Structure 1
Amino acid sequence: MDEVGRGALAGPVTVGVVVVTQTVGRVPTGLRDSKLLTPAARDALVTPVRRWAADFGVGHAGPEEIDEHGIMVALRLAGERALAQLAAPVDAVLLDGNYNYLTPRRPAGTEDDGPDGDAEGLFDAPAVTGPAAPAVHVRIKADMTCAAVAAASILAKTERDRLLVGLAERHPAYGLEINKGYCTPDHSAALRRWGASPVHRRSWRLPGEDPGLFGGSDVPIGFEEGRAEPAPHGGENRPRER
């Protein structure tokens, strides 16, 4: 499994899962971590990856869930939704990174408390209905050393990118079709001018949310100084393609 969108300012966090067994064939030609591929190369690998994998799924957790529960819970929800799309439970999961966000934590003082047993509240969102969480293993840079994790990253990245292109049509002021929700100079400038849209992660400290930037605390956060309306949702002020 691999995730994309963790550090973005807007849009969902997305987790992809690719199932491999002893019977899968040769790894698709050109398969690499999605971050090392061009958008065209990623798109071209989607069909080969789906044909190669024994099963696959992609799950999302939206900005409202990130705001309500925090990014780690949102990652777990997205991961559970990806696993719930599989035809059968898996025996184990290999997660990219060094942190197991998929397994819910026990509150402090409960049985089998581990070194992180005091993390009550980090994973307190309700679980998605589905099979019980499998055994989870973490590996740093797994997306660069494991073909299945690289494949999961491609499915997650391409699907999330398509979602952000669709969101850009409804919220054209932010250039989401270009930046995919990540912080860029143009995206930051749009946030300072227009404030956050409904697809931004409002619990995060977004550019422009410091009232001092707009002349004092009397200016509502999310509005350009002197304006009486939020960012446009039509075609005006659409960022130019770079």
Structure 2
Amino acid sequence: METAAPLCGIDEAGRGPIAGPLVMAGVILHAPLEGLNDSKKLTEKKREALYARITANAAYHIVRFSSQQIDDDGISACLSKGLKEIMKVLGEADYLFDGNSTFGVSGLRTQVKADADVPEVSAASILAKVTRDREMVALADTYPQYGFEKHKGYGSAAHIEAIKTHGYSAVHRRSFRLKALQPTLF
């Protein structure tokens, strides 16, 4: 009798920020875990506690792309590479990626809002977000003038003002064009 391939949930954190990495995670849970949800719906304290429980009770792989890689290759190419790497490392599984695009990668399914509805994708969402948030907090020590620990690299008003004052840092995505930073024509 053949056993079904395990479900591997995949999600990312950091697709939209203007600074910092894109982080992707794939998770195959070994046992059900209580409290899983879309990482954005959980407090930082809950995410941190769940991170430890997930990594202790799952096969997982985390992939990271720097702002430089995103600028050089494009966000879609990075997502495609990340999906392929997760699938290669985690092996035979039924892959489910949060969202509605496979980014040209065959052998996986997509589902909008899977990060809230499917425990394996929720777990991947948590691993990706906690990994990225930790890196942004560490980057705040190197670049304190940008406030990365607060906005995690997203284009908040304070972040945009910091860029206007200090210019771009080495971890800003120069390929992401912000209207607020473009010269006016008039």
Same structural fold, with TM-score higher than 0.5 when normalized by the shorter chain: yes
Structure 1 counterpart of 2:11, one-letter code: D
The CA deviation string for residues 104-139 of structure 1, in whole angstroms up to 9 with x for no partner, is xxxxxxxxxxxxxxxxxxxxxxxxxxxxxx611001
Q: What RMSD in Å do the two structures reach over aligned CA positions?
A: 2.0
1:58 aligns with 2:67: no
Shift of 1:173: 1.0
Cα distance in 2 between the residues matched to 1:85 and 1:172 = 36
Structure 1 counterpart of 2:109, one-letter code: H
SS of residue in 2 equivalent to 1:211:
coil
TM score, norm. by length of structure 1: 0.68
Cα distance in 2 between the residues matched to 1:76 and 1:167 = 26
Cα distance in 2 between the residues matched to 1:102 and 1:166 = 33
The CA deviation string for residues 130-181 of structure 1, in whole angstroms up to 9 with x for no partner, is xxxx611001111111000000000010011111111111111110111111
- Where do 1:67-78 residues align within 5 Å? 67-78=71-82
Return the structure number with greater strand share. 2
TM score, norm. by length of structure 2: 0.87
Are the equivalent residues in 2 in contact too, given 1:3–1:153 (CA < 8 A)?
yes
Structure with higher Rg: it is 1
Are the equivalent residues in 2 in contact too, given 1:58–1:156 (CA < 8 A)?
yes
Are the equivalent residues in 1 in contact too, given 2:160–2:181 (CA < 8 A)?
no
1:9 aligns with 2:13: no
Structure 1 regions of 5+ residues with no counterpart?
A: 104-133, 217-242
Dislocated runs of 4+, deviation >6 Å: none
Give the % identical residues.
38
Greater relative contact order (Cα 8 A, min sep 6): structure 1 or 2? 2
SS of residue in 2 equivalent to 1:19:
strand
Aligned to 1:135: 107
Cα distance in 2 between the residues matched to 1:40 and 1:200 = 27
Shift of 1:19: 1.5
Instruction: Give the alignment partner of residue 34 of structure 2, picking from 14, 18, 29.
Output: 29
Inter-CA distance 41–171: structure 2 relative to 1 (3 Å threshold): same
Shift of 1:84: 4.9
- Where do 1:96-135 residues align within 5 Å? 96-101=98-103, 103=105, 135=107
1:148 aligns with 2:120: yes
Return the structure number with greater helix share. 2
1:181 aligns with 2:185: no
Count of matched residue pairs: 177
Instruction: Give the alignment partner of residue 18 of structure 1, picking from 10, 24, 27.
Output: 27
SS of residue in 1 equivalent to 2:68:
helix
Instruction: Give the alignment partner of residue 170 of structure 2, picking from 193, 198, 214.
Output: 198
SS of residue in 2 equivalent to 1:196:
coil
Cα distance in 2 between the residues matched to 1:39 and 1:196 = 27
SS of residue in 2 equivalent to 1:56:
strand
Structure 2 counterpart of 1:158, one-letter code: V
